[in-house]
Amino acid sequence: MNVYITRKIPSSAKELLESKGINVKEYPKDKPILKEELIRNAKDAEGLISLLTDKIDKEVIDSLPKLKVIANYAVGFNNIDVKYANSKNITVTNTPDILTDATADLAVTLVLTCARNIIHAEKFMRDKKFEGWKPKLFLGYELRGKTVGIIGAGRIGIETAKRLKSFGTKIIYYNRSKKIDFEKELEAKKVTLKKLMKTSDIISVHLPLNDKTNCLIDKEHLDLMKSSAIFINTARGEVVDEKYLIRLLKNKKIFSAGFDVYFEEPNVNNELYKLNNVVILPHLGSASFEARSKMAELCSQNIINIFNGKRALTEVKI
């Protein structure tokens, strides 16, 4: 059996596969593989480990006739035409759970970084501008007593809420279904998206990207935010009307925003570099040593299971 890995990921993925006698080839460069190259290099592969930067569309799927399983090295799978893969009897898997803590930690990091002007304060120090304590230097917001609006109460949304609750915040959430345990544990309240946008001091987005969530947080919703609001997105850029959000930030209509993901990733809207009320990160949600190794192993284990005629541990269901 053959597996193709589209980028260098922790070596445990390759080691686990090879320990089961599977041949592994990987793209040696640390940049996204071109579609033609992927098709050429993976043509004999029964298993594929793909990244969120690889578009696995009909053309790719049709060009890899032996493929049985696509193991995406991410929890998000909007880069894969899952429906089409499934119609060709190809199983698609992702890496949920194991990156939840890493991503929730990052969302909270962005909240605090935005709330306390950390980036600018740090740059101020490096620019050697510090002349001593000043009563009004870089004033920001405390979290106690603030309302946190979680958009998408899946695993990562819930873990982010738990962390923020410990700062003395009140949790409201927008989700398709009611989350009874979440409500009990955190006294969280389910509200409409409009109510959430209007009443939250801190908004954190945790929605998967699909047809229903694409640009869900549009102009109309964004206009409802408080002038003191902090808006954080660690999910997918396309769920928000990014251009309009940037306009609000430019006109100081909200306090601050933290971006880990972008509308046209990997391209970043140039305006963002010019704004001093944003924190911009290079899609680091799952970027912990722990999460990335576990993700590699889970991808391989899913492939091994499929090769052995078993169910994958984390098959994507749409």
Just list the catalytic residues: 236, 265, 283
Q: How far is residue 96 from each of residues 118, 161, 286, measured CA to CA in Å?
A: 30, 18, 11
Q: Which of 285, 294, 300, 303 binds ligand DGY (CB under 6 A)?
A: 285
- 46/260 with CB nearer ligand DGY: 260
3-state SS class at 187: coil
Q: Which of 190, 221, 283, 294 binds ligand DGY (CB under 6 A)?
A: 283
- 90/209 with CB nearer ligand DGY: 209
| Segment interacting with ligand DGY, rule: CB under 6 A, options 25-33, 238-246, 283-291, 308-316 | 283-291
Closest to 208 (Cα-Cα) out of 74, 102, 101: 74
3-state SS class at 168: coil
Residue 76 binds ligand DGY, judged by CB under 6 A: yes
Residue 99 binds ligand DGY, judged by CB under 6 A: yes
Exposed/middle/buried for 276, CB within 10 Å: 0-12, 13-18, 19+?
exposed
**How many Å separate Cα 221 from the centre of its chain?**
21
Do residues 171 and 165 lie in contact, with contact meaning Cβ atoms separated by under 8 Å?
yes
- 254/296 with CB nearer ligand DGY: 296
Q: Which of 74, 205, 249, 306 binds ligand DGY (CB under 6 A)?
A: 74
Q: Which of 3, 49, 52, 229 binds ligand DGY (CB under 6 A)?
A: 52
- 103/305 with CB nearer ligand DGY: 103
| Segment interacting with ligand DGY, rule: CB under 6 A, options 143-151, 171-179, 224-232, 282-290 | 282-290
Residue 286 binds ligand DGY, judged by CB under 6 A: yes
Q: How far apart are CA 57 and CA 20, in angstroms?
A: 29
Residue 257 binds ligand DGY, judged by CB under 6 A: no
Q: How far apart are CA 14 and CA 17, in angstroms?
A: 5
The HSE-up count of residue 216 (CA atoms within 13 Å, CB side) is: 23
Q: Applying CB under 6 A, which residues contact ligand DGY?
A: 52, 74-76, 99, 283, 285-286
